[in-house]
Amino acid sequence: MKIASSPSRIRNYSPADLVRKTRDLPRTGEPGEKYHYSNTNFILLGMIIEEITGNPSTEEFKRRIFDPLKMTRTYGTARSSEGIKGPHGHGYARDDEGKLHDMDRLNSSYGAGTGGVVSTARDMGRFFSAFEKDKLLPDDLQQVWDEKPPGKPEAPPPAERLCGNEPPMRVAGGAAAGFNATTYSTLDGRVQFAVSTTLTINPHAPNPIIQQAAEAVLCPKR
């Protein structure tokens, strides 16, 4: 993953600006035809939150999620010039000219729904533990989450899953320029392994190593 070499890499764009930039892009498929991850959809959801509540979406996240779960090291950023608060690891990414940049100052203008939140492995663990214990969503929303969407491929056979699916685990991961984070949780939320890494390479490159670490910790008998 490369970043722009111009000041635009830390320029703040409004959510409306970002949505507007997608209007002329081709569709990846028809609605309901097949699942595709979409940052634009998350930006739109953030805009809906702000329209309904009258507050920045990150304030609603703090009030509804971060504070109740005691995610004390998680917060939403407002502008890229803020940087990351307090002591922290530094991730780096190369621009179009090959020069490394410290991603301490990242473009958080898409924070209305798909980014702009700074967290830690500890707090990620708190979030996914609450999710697996059904303490995060009301029953009706939990049912929507658990339902299999049309077009979703079948899960791999147990032998291809972590620990041979004994116990069953859910894996949630994400990456950005300079950073990679993955959380493994049993479906009852009692056992977890959360990893946050800083990078100077492709954000997804450490995934095999993280998988090996998870196997060593969570299924040592294998």
CB atoms < 10 A from the CB of 66, how many?
A: 23
Could you tell me which residues come within 8 angstroms of residue 77 by beta carbon, excluding any fewer than 6 positions away? Answer: 58, 108, 111, 116, 117, 118
- CATH code, residues 1-118: 3.40.710.10
Dihedral of alpha carbons 106, 107, 110, 116, sign:
positive
CA 18 to chain centre: 18
Q: Which helix (H) or strand (E) holds 45?
A: helix 39-53
pLDDT in tens, the chain (222 residues): 556 555 566 677 788 888 898 888 888 777 767 667 778 888 888 899 999 999 988 889 999 999 999 999 998 876 666 678 888 888 888 888 888 888 887 665 555 456 678 899 999 999 999 988 888 888 888 888 888 767 666 766 666 788 888 888 889 888 888 888 999 999 888 889 999 999 888 878 888 899 999 999 998 775
Query: CA 57, CA 132: separation in Å to the nearest integer?
Result: 23
- Report the C-alpha dihedral over residues 91, 136, 163, 196, rounded to 10 degrees: 10
Domain(s) labelled CATH 3.40.710.10 in the chain stretch across 1-118
CB 57 within 8 A of CB 164: no
Rg (CA), the chain: 19
Tell me the pTM: 0.82
